Copies of this chain bind each other. A is one copy, B any other.
Amino acid sequence: MPAMLFDPPYYAVIFTAQRTDGDEAAYARTAALMDQLAAQVPGYLGIESTRDAKTGLGITVSYWRDEAAIQAWKTQADHVMARQAGRDRWYASYALRVAKVEREYDFHKPENDAGWA
């Protein structure tokens, strides 16, 4: 469900990560828990996440009202532990970027449009 808009300015945390092989069940369980916990942080707006099963490359973008919300999430205790597990076990490499969203657009195909067919 993309195409959520949040009224700029707000913040995006762009996390691009290369998974190691294996340990999928524990990883998925932790990822789902982190999504739940993040949503409880005041100033959380939303999250979009996807991974290519073949290449192992994943991109997660979380959206936050302000820097205070990002700092609150960064110091959340379970999240601190999950990040350590990520470095120890789940990620071969990652990049994390904090960016201020200045403008946004969306598109929804009209319901009765059959598209390319």
Contacts and interface: CB of A to CB of B under 8 A. Distances in A.
Contact of A91 (B90, B102, B109): B109
Interface of A: 1-5, 12, 14, 16-18, 20, 22-23, 48-55, 57-59, 61, 87-109, 115-117
Given A12-B14, A96-B104, A23 B55 contact: no
Among A20, A59, A103, A117: residue with most chain B CB under 10 A: A59
Nearest to A15: B2
Q: How many monomers of this protein are in the complex? A: 2
Contact of A103 (B87, B89, B98): B98
Given A61-B16, A99-B12, A100-B99, A93 B105 contact: no
A69 B18 CA distance: 28
Given A14-B14, A100-B102, A50 B61 contact: no
B52 A50 contact: yes
Contact of A95 (B55, B100, B104): B104
